[in-house]
Structure 1
Amino acid sequence: MDIVLLVKAAVMGVVEGLTEFLPISSTGHLILAGALLGFEGEKAKVFDIAIQTGAIFAVILVYWQKIRSTLVELPTSRQAQRFALNVFIGFLPAVVLALAFGKLIQAHLFTPIVVATTFILGGFVILWAERRPATSVRVHSVDDMTPMDALKVGLAQCLAMVPGTSRSGATIIGGMLLGLSRKAATDFSFFLAMPTLIGAGVYSLYKQRALLSAADIPMFAVGLLFSFISAWLCVRWLLRYISSNSFVPFAWYRIVFGIVVLVTAWTGVIAWHGE
């Protein structure tokens, strides 16, 4: 058993769990962490996508009461039916675009320089969104969303196919710009993550199954476990945080971190791989 590899898997799992649901891009952080750790290659890309499932299990645990009530009431409740339909509608655009362009994007855009640039641009978008007046909010709960709201947030989620953009950032900030409250946008982002990330993980494992073997099970298991634990802690903290705080600190984090990556790359202080 390669202990060093398992430690790297644990670190990557923690990075995934802590960044998946914050508007700072888990994919971007995984690319940067992988470059620093030397955890790269086609198998590493499959690993990065697969361990998202661990983070999703954490969200399912946190939102279990809402999920359970929706499933129980689905046959009889119009509200439950509309909520389930909205999640399905929001999920569809990412599926279509991922099938059409996913391979191309992974081949050409998964680089530290692209990540750093989108970190910075995304930070400025968050600052702009947070400065809009609160009077523009028209949807205060996920149960108040229309199918058109769901479709628009789903289209915003597609922006996250560019690494460094942040799936959570695209859906939460996109939702806020479309008139959702911070709480409603965050909740819907989490619910939308469930089919999106589980689907991406299963599809990636199936497509790349020839790369994997039984010897890889410990590495994936460690990554999933640490992703689950760190995501559970992060989601619980974030839901408390947004009740009385804005996303502005995350915007400045993105901008500063992106600048640091660009400067270290241009000066040669850090030899980022895949530039």
Structure 2
Amino acid sequence: MTWLDTIILSIVEGVTEFLPISSTGHMIITDAIMNHGKTPTESEREFARLFEVCIQLGAILSVVTLYWRKFFDIKRLDLYFKLIVAVFPALAFGFLFSKKIDELLESPATVAVALLLGGIVLLFVDNLFSAKNRIENDGELSYKKGFMIGMWQVLAMIPGTSRSAATIIGGMQQGLTRRFAAEFSFFLAVPTMMAATGYKLLKATKEHPELLKDKDNLAMLGVGNIIAFVVALVAIKTFIGFLQKNSLRAFGVYRIVAAIIIFGLMYAGYIKG
């Protein structure tokens, strides 16, 4: 990876992590375009995978920073327990199917299909659920509903689905308002992405210890997290403001257009499916 790659991928992560458009999908496609015509070594490929997961830590910290009053309020301990219940399905499925997930992470075709199908759902999700949704805060959210949202999050293991999209749609299906569904999606991202980052670092330490001994690699990880943190702060605040006045339909249209572009790039041979 070059420093330009580091900056571009970090910005993409910060912008897309909490929007319902799939950060993983955008990272895969961005990486495929940047590496067009190149043949990265196995070490470079492994570090790219590690980087794309680990810079999520910066995005996580943006959520904790923006919602620190809720995260550090000892009177709201039930929120922590609800998040533990909600994150359990993703941890279980991730542990059982980690190898298959890694294989899917190499497939732009999977990303394109998931973007397209998710985009179609987002076109209609507000009409399906918004009118009868009344749950506006975590105090009104039951453990059962939290667990069901966690089951929706499992779908995000398919690259291109979007963890944010899956949990927002799941939240709205469980009766959460559009705004609170987005906020709970942000909260749920913290334990989910911390677990994913920790697992990836542990795996890299055992299988590719040389990656974390390289000073340039460590510098890129540090800078990448800082960029992702700053960009994600802006993205979250902008997204919440947008949802107060608009539906999710615009993101559905974006996903469909993005999927068509990816299919076009694959057809033209610019990226491999």
Common fold by TM > 0.5 = yes
Amino acid at match of 2:187: F
Moved more, 14-23 or 81-90: 81-90
Tell me if the contact between 1:24 and 1:250 (Cα under 8 Å) persists in the aligned partners: yes
Distance in 1 (CA, whole Å) between partners of 2:131 and 2:108 is 38
Aligned to 1:52: 56
Tell me if the contact between 2:28 and 2:105 (Cα under 8 Å) persists in the aligned partners: no
**Are 2:47 and 1:43 equivalent residues in the alignment?**
yes
Distance in 1 (CA, whole Å) between partners of 2:107 and 2:56 is 19
Aligned to 1:76: none
Shift of 1:59: 0.8
Distance in 2 (CA, whole Å) between partners of 1:218 and 1:10 is 12
Aligned to 1:146: 142
Aligned-pair RMSD on alpha carbons? 1.5
Amino acid at match of 2:15: L
Shift of 1:109: 4.8
Distance in 2 (CA, whole Å) between partners of 1:159 and 1:166 is 8
- Mapping of 1:56-67 within 5 angstroms? 56-67=60-71
Distance in 2 (CA, whole Å) between partners of 1:60 and 1:226 is 16
Distance in 2 (CA, whole Å) between partners of 1:189 and 1:179 is 14
- Mapping of 1:239-250 within 5 angstroms? 239-250=240-251
Distance in 1 (CA, whole Å) between partners of 2:85 and 2:106 is 27
Deviations 1:207-252 (A, max 9, x none): 0124212321111112111111110110111121111111111100
- Mapping of 1:203-218 within 5 angstroms? 203-209=199-205, 210-211=207-208, 212=211, 213-215=213-215, 216-218=217-219
TM-score (norm 1): 0.91
Deviations 1:59-105 (A, max 9, x none): 11000111122xx22xxxxxx23222111100111000001102212
- Alignment counterpart, residue 23 of structure 1, candidates 20, 39, 54: 20
Aligned to 2:10: 13
Tell me if the contact between 1:102 and 1:161 (Cα under 8 Å) persists in the aligned partners: no
Tell me if the contact between 2:129 and 2:173 (Cα under 8 Å) persists in the aligned partners: no
Distance in 2 (CA, whole Å) between partners of 1:66 and 1:140 is 14
Tell me if the contact between 2:124 and 2:249 (Cα under 8 Å) persists in the aligned partners: no
Unpaired runs of 5+ residues, structure 2, are: none
Unpaired runs of 5+ residues, structure 1, are: 74-79
Amino acid at match of 2:16: T
Tell me if the contact between 2:16 and 2:23 (Cα under 8 Å) persists in the aligned partners: yes
- Mapping of 1:1-275 within 5 angstroms? 5-38=2-35, 41-69=45-73, 72-73=74-75, 80-132=76-128, 134-209=130-205, 210-211=207-208, 212=211, 213-215=213-215, 216-268=217-269, 271-273=270-272, 275=273
Moved more, 175-184 or 132-141: 132-141
Shift of 1:108: 3.7
Q: How many residues align?
A: 261
Distance in 2 (CA, whole Å) between partners of 1:9 and 1:267 is 26
C-alpha spacing 1:109/1:48, structure 2 compared with 1 (3 Å): closer
Shift of 1:133: 5.3
Paired residue secondary structure (1:208)? helix
Shift of 1:5: 0.9
Moved more, 225-234 or 212-221: 212-221
